[in-house]
Amino acid sequence: MFVVDPMRDYPKETESRVIIRFQDCDPLRHLNNAKYFDYFFNAREDQVPKLYGVEFLDFMKSFEAVWVVYNHHIAYLKPANMGEWVKIVTRIVWFDKNTMVVEYCMLNDHKTHLKTLMWTTLKYVGLNNSRSVDHSEEVLNYLKAIQFPNVDYHPNHFEERVTQVKNEVRTLV
C-alpha cells in the first residue's frame, strides 16, 4: 500500500512511449477514436505502479472502493497514424472528497504537437454498495502528493485547457 513520504517529491505526471498499432486504426490509417481510451488507460495503468509503487488492486482491497468513470471530455486535434510513435502523458489535475479528474495528453514522439487531450472524471465508489464514498485520509494524501500543480480546473473550461496545453507544447519547440 502507498504511504506518502513527506520528505519525497513525487512525480506529478506519468509518461509512456507507445506505437500506434495497425489493428487499432481505421481505413485511413488513423487511430480509431474509440481506441484512444485504451491507449490512455493502458499507459496510466502501466506507469502508476512504476512511479508510485501502487497497484490498482491494492487500492480496491485496502479501501473496499474503486474509481469508476463518470464522464469524459476529449479533443481530437491531430490524427495519430499507424506505425507512429507517440508520447502519452497523464496527470491528476483535480480532486475533491469523492471525485478526481485525470488529464491525458497524446503528443507526437518529440512532444512538439498535441494530438489529443482528454479529461476523465472518476467517482470513488464503494465495492459493497456501488455508491459514491469519500476518499479516506490515506487516499487524499496520495492524491495531494501526486496532483499536477497549477491547473485551474473547472468542468466547463475544457476548451480553454486545450488551448493552454497547445500553447505550452508550442513554447517547448
User: Which pLDDT tens digit goes with each residue over 35-79?
Assistant: 999 999 999 999 999 998 888 888 788 899 999 999 999 999 999
Is the separation of the CB atoms in 20 and 82 below 8 Å? yes
Beta bridge partners of 125: 66, 132
Structure confidence at residue 2 as a pLDDT band (50, 70, 90): low
Work out the average pLDDT over 130-134.
Answer: 94
All domains in the chain, ordered by first residue: 14-172 (3.10.129.10)
pLDDT of residue 153: 95
Work out the average pLDDT over 148-162.
Answer: 95
pLDDT of 90 over the 80 cut: yes
- Please state, in angstroms and rounded to a whole number, the distance separating the CA atoms of residues 101 and 95: 6
- Please state, in angstroms and rounded to a whole number, the distance separating the CA atoms of residues 43 and 56: 13
What order do you get walking across the sheet with 85-95 strand by strand? 14-19, 85-95, 99-108, 114-126, 65-76
- Please state, in angstroms and rounded to a whole number, the distance separating the CA atoms of residues 52 and 132: 25
Work out the average pLDDT over 105-112.
Answer: 97
- Give me the DSSP letters along 81-96: BTT-EEEEEEEEEEE-
pLDDT of 11 over the 70 cut: yes
Work out the average pLDDT over 9-23.
Answer: 96
Burial degree of 66 (CB within 10 A; 0-12, 13-18, 19+): middle
